[in-house]
């Protein structure tokens, strides 16, 4: 069967589902939120599907394949914090002294050196992101060591985005100036919620004044590309209290806002067991999600994907219109680099051949580097099918639609796609997912269900209440 004939066959089959559509007014999307959990799809395949079969030697082989002219991104993981946030799902450790941080930085430098030796060339870097933990814990000397090492071993492009995640509660008075001196041009500030009751439950006391002063200081130093992180789903959150938080955030006028659903996974993250109150139910979570969406979408922000908002004139909105945004471990990004190299404990690298994750615990990470070995824990080799499903899921998560004709033409896997469409039949029947001319669209009112709907294209996904996080 020729390719064109195959496309016609698929169109015929897909049209069956188009004919099955029937309209239901006032669809209650709560009825489509399952009692099991689903992945966040910051990668595909997702991290729980990584295997220890992918080792140090395999990673070296993949690194060697990166061509000199290929643009890459760097992610630097700083796994240290000054205080324990009970809700946190990141790989981080609370430290009372700075010595462990200084020691860890020395091994970051060693990992960078090894990567340069392996690749045998200075790769071009278009994005650098410091995450954690709280990378703002770094003092000027360690930050300088890291930036000098990156400059020595990589070529940082002039228009590169250099970003850092910041905890406003523990910042030196010189932080903004230091960031400016090292050419940082974007920051992401953790807020979560300004309600004092909520902050008490999650052990994160943070005043509006602290946040405002930091933002003012950053802007005075020329750093205006500012993102603020919020979280919905915490115990003690109410519609009334969340409205107040949204208003305060809007008054700060950040370039971007990220609003994440609280991932309550105490069976994985022991610190979450310290939260004595029950997380919010799905109905209240959905209320807060829709409240935030309506609040910002009806002001001067545009929706990006499922949980991000950006100023109407921002660069990411321009790229959104051109379908040139991406979703990775840092959320939604303008980064178009096909390769991401993760440096530091627990960090994940994304390469053409697959994913690789570093050892999670700092002592294990250091132990490998002491032996002059890259600290690889596990990974995943990408098949052509993985690439196809990953493309579909990423497009749905970024744009809420996908042209299946292009997927068919490139991958020629009609039967596999039909099976996925069958799984989506309840959403299609409810008219919250539409297929027309083989363009699949998640309707705007179903935006909160995007992760759940996307899981229909994930053959690795197994319904398991305790494996992932809630679907909204």
Q: Which tens digits make up the pLDDT trace of 439-468?
A: 999 999 899 999 999 999 999 998 876 677
Q: What average pLDDT score do residues 63-75 get?
A: 94
Class of domain 3-45+384-457: mainly alpha
CA atoms within 13 A on the CB side of 30: 11
pLDDT of residue 133: 93
Cis (ω within 30 of 0) for the bond into 194? no
- Of the given ranges (3-17, 198-212, 338-352, 413-427), which has the lowest mean pLDDT? 3-17
pLDDT at 308 over 70: yes
Model confidence over 179-196: pLDDT tens digits? 999 999 999 999 999 999
What are 354's strand-pairing partners? 381
Please return the burial class of 291, using the count of CB atoms within 10 Å of its CB with bins 0-12, 13-18 and 19+: middle
**Residues 238, 130: Cα–Cα separation, whole Å:** 32
Which ranges of 56-174 does DSSP label H, i.e. alpha helix?
56-64, 99-119, 140-153
Q: What average pLDDT score do residues 20-32 get?
A: 54
Q: What average pLDDT score do residues 354-362 get?
A: 97
What are the backbone dihedrals phi and psi of residue 419, each rounded to the nearest 5 degrees, phi first? -60, -40
**Mean pLDDT score of the chain:** 91
pLDDT at 141 over 50: yes
* pLDDT band, residue 37 (cuts 50/70/90): confident
Q: Between 3.30.470.20, 1.20.1250.20, 3.80.30.20, 3.40.50.10490, what CATH number should domain 50-381 receive?
A: 3.80.30.20
* pLDDT band, residue 18 (cuts 50/70/90): very low
pLDDT at 403 over 70: yes
pLDDT at 55 over 80: yes
Chain centroid, CA 404 distance in Å: 25
**Residues 244, 240: Cα–Cα separation, whole Å:** 7
Tokens of 303: 């929706």
pLDDT of residue 6: 41
Q: Give the SS3 label for residue 357.
A: strand
**Residues 92, 90: Cα–Cα separation, whole Å:** 6
Tokens of 417: 């796609």
Contact by Cβ (8 Å): 133, 90? yes
Q: Which part of the chain has CATH 1.10.10.920? A: 3-45+384-457
Query: Percentage of the chain with pLDDT > 70?
Result: 94
pLDDT of residue 3: 43
What are the backbone dihedrals phi and psi of residue 264, each rounded to the nearest 5 degrees, phi first? -90, 100
Q: Which part of the chain has CATH 3.80.30.20? A: 50-381
- Of the given ranges (58-67, 69-78, 226-235, 289-298), which has the lowest mean pLDDT? 289-298
pLDDT of residue 27: 54
């Amino acid at each position: 069967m020729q390719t064109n004939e195959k496309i016609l066959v698929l169109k015929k089959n897909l049209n069956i589902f188009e004919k099955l559509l029937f309209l239901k007014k006032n669809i209650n999307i709560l009825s489509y939120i399952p009692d099991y959990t689903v992945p966040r799809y910051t990668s595909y395949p997702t991290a729980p599907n990584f295997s220890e079969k992918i080792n140090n030697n395999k990673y070296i082989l993949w690194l060697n394949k990166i061509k000199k002219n290929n643009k890459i991104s760097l992610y630097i993981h700083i796994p240290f914090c000054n205080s324990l946030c009970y809700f946190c799902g990141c790989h981080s450790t609370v430290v009372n002294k700075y010595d462990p941080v200084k020691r860890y930085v020395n091994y970051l430098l060693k990992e960078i050196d090894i990567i340069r030796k392996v690749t045998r060339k200075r790769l071009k870097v278009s994005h650098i992101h410091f995450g954690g933990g709280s990378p703002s814990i770094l003092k000027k000397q360690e930050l300088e060591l890291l930036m000098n090492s990156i400059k020595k071993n990589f070529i940082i492009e002039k228009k590169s985005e250099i970003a850092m995640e910041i905890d406003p509660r523990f910042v030196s008075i010189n932080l903004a100036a230091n960031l400016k001196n090292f050419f940082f041009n974007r920051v992401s500030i953790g807020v979560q919620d300004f309600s004092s009751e909520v902050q008490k439950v999650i052990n994160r006391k943070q005043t509006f004044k602290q946040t405002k002063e930091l933002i003012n200081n950053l802007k005075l130093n020329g750093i205006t590309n500012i993102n603020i992180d919020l979280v919905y789903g915490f115990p003690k959150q109410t519609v009334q209290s969340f409205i107040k938080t949204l208003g305060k955030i809007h008054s700060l006028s950040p370039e971007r806002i990220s609003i994440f659903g609280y991932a309550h996974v105490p069976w994985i993250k022991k610190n979450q067991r310290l939260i004595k109150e029950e997380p919010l139910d799905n109905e209240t979570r959905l209320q807060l999600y829709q409240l935030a969406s309506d609040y910002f979408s009806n002001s001067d922000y545009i929706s990006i994907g499922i949980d991000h908002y950006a100023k109407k004139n921002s660069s990411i909105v321009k790229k959104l219109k051109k379908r040139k945004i991406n979703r990775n471990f840092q959320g939604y990004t303008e980064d178009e680099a096909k390769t991401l190299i993760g440096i530091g404990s627990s960090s994940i690298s994304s390469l053409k051949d697959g994913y690789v994750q570093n050892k999670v615990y700092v002592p294990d990470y250091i132990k490998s580097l002491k032996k002059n070995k890259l600290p690889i824990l596990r990974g995943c080799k990408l098949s052509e099918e993985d690439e196809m499903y990953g493309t579909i899921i990423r497009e749905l998560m970024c744009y809420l639609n996908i042209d299946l004709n292009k997927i068919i033409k490139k991958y020629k896997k009609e039967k596999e796609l039909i099976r996925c469409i069958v799984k989506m039949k309840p959403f299609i029947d409810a008219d919250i997912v539409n297929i027309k001319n083989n363009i699949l669209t998640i309707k705007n009112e179903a935006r909160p269900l995007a992760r759940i709907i996307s899981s229909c294209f994930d053959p690795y996904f197994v319904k398991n209440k305790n494996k992932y996080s809630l679907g909204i």
